[in-house]
Amino acid sequence: MQINSYNSKQNFTGVRLSSNSMTCVKDAVNTLKKTGFDFIGKQIVFCDNTMEAKMTAGQVIRNRTSFQNKRFGAVFFPWSGECYLMADKAAEQKMARILSQYDAKTVVNLVI
């Protein structure tokens, strides 16, 4: 995966993992911890399966949480079976590069 520039849009909601199982997320978190990132916690969000609802939830989380100094969190959407790792925009780009080496289906979510 090659990312040429940082995404500065407000609707950017993180790095989407290939699975939302706890073991997959724990592996991703442990991998990022080994490279200097700091995990601040997880949150489970119950919302509609629409893109608008997920975008709104992501914006609320971004407004309430300050992701600084390589700090990140995991956000679970159980009804859609998705998990996103959220951090500041520059850190998300780095996280995606690191995780793509271990999980080929990890993608930077530019749609939501």
Rounded to whole angstroms, the Cα distance separating 77 from 35 reads 26
Residue burial 72-107, b: 16+ Cβ < 10 Å; e: rest = bbbbbbeeeebbbbbbbeebbbbbbebbbeebeebb
Q: Find how far residue 84's CA is from the centre of its chain.
A: 3
Name the token pair of 112.
């939501």
Name the token pair of 61.
């989380």
What's residue 43's pLDDT?
Answer: 87
List, for residues 53-106, the tens digit of each pLDDT value: 888 888 888 888 888 888 999 999 888 888 889 998 888 888 988 998 888 888
What's residue 104's pLDDT?
Answer: 81
Q: What is the overall mean pLDDT for the chain?
A: 82
What's residue 56's pLDDT?
Answer: 87
